[in-house]
Chain A
Amino acid sequence: DTGVSQDPRHKITKRGQNVTFRCDPISEHNRLYWYRQTLGQGPEFLTYFQNEAQLEKSRLLSDRFSAERPKGSFSTLEIQRTEQGDSAMYLCASNPASGNYNEQFFGPGTRLTVL
């Protein structure tokens, strides 16, 4: 399978702990996106990378959130000092920088539950 993969698929943590999620995009996709989806809502944009450069961050991304894509391939999203309000599905997507660049390909998501 050469689609977008995310790890882990589920994460349960206690309030105040740090968590890190990983996303592996489709190979050769320059652009990588993180979204957050809460129950009953559509996804909300968090941040976007082109290669290793983080080009845009939503104001939803508080200082407890940090994302990296050090080599322009996989990306990590870390949440520090988790809060119950962080419970959500975290979605990763990717697409190439050219061609049908506006179609995004999504991974299965990481479901975070903060107790």
Chain B
Amino acid sequence: AQSVTQLDSQVPVFEEAPVELRCNYSSSVSVYLFWYVQYPNQGLQLLLKYLSGSTLVKGINGFEAEFNKSQTSFHLRKPSVHISDTAEYFCAVYSNYQLIWGAGTKLIIKP
């Protein structure tokens, strides 16, 4: 069965600094990967997805992620964070019509 591990439950970072949120998935023949963001008291919003093709995927709000098959990773990055990026970020893998989710990483922006 597929599984997703988000290695950090919280990541504090200063405003305008770069950030990386880590995600590892269990290996599979083909894999579709997603990053969603959840702002306080809101639903989940898709940031970006990897289905096939280029391993560097660009998403909304300046985020990007790199699919690394050999390391079974799909880490999320942003070169310069803003206070408005404060949210919880979830990595997910598609498997048999459902999404399998990591436990989430809270991004905390320090002024």
How many pairs, one residue from A and one from B, have CB atoms within 8 Å of each other in the complex?
53
Which residues of A approach B to under 8 Å, CB–CB? 4, 31, 33, 35, 40-45, 48, 55-56, 91, 93, 100, 102-109
Which B residues form the contact surface with A (CB < 8 A)?
4, 6, 9, 32, 34, 36, 42-46, 49, 51, 90, 92, 94, 96-104
Given A42-B104, A45-B99, A56-B96, A102 and B32 contact (CB-CB distance below 8 Å): yes
Of A4, A43, A55, A107, the contact of B99 (CB 8 Å cutoff): A43
Other CB < 8 Å A-B pairs besides A55-B97, A107-B43, 11 of them?
Answer: A33-B97, A42-B4, A42-B101, A42-B103, A42-B104, A43-B44, A43-B99, A56-B96, A56-B97, A56-B98, A106-B43
Chain A proximity of B41: nearest CB distance (Å): 8
A32 to chain B, nearest CB (A): 11
| Chain B residues whose CB sits within 8 angstroms of the CB of A55 once the complex forms | 97
Chain B residues in 8 Å Cβ range of A33: 97-98
Residues of B within 8 A of A4 (CB): 43
A41→B34 contact, CB < 8 A: no
**Are B99 and A104 in contact (CB-based, < 8 A)?**
yes
Q: Which 9 A-B pairs have the closest CB atoms?
A: A42-B101, A45-B98, A106-B44, A108-B43, A102-B94, A106-B43, A102-B32, A43-B101, A42-B103
Cα A78 to Cα B37 in complex, Å, equals: 27
Query: Which of chain B's residues have a CB closer than 8 A to the CB of A41?
Result: 103-104
Whether A91 contacts B97 by the Cβ 8 Å rule is no
Q: How far is the CB of B32 from chain A (nearest CB, A)?
A: 5
In the complex, which residue of chain A has the Cβ closest to the Cβ of B45?
Answer: A106
Inter-chain contacts of B43 with A (CB < 8 A): 4, 91, 106-109
Contact A42 B90, beta carbon cutoff 8 Å: yes
Q: Determine the distance from Cα of A45 to Cα of B9 in the docked complex, in whole angstroms.
A: 21
Contacts of B100 in A (CB 8 A): 45
Once the chains are docked, how many angstroms separate the CA of A56 from the CA of B4? Answer: 21
- Which residues of chain A have C-beta atoms less than 8 A from B45's C-beta? 106
Find the A residue at minimum CB distance from B36. Answer: A106
Residue of A at shortest CB range from B106? A40
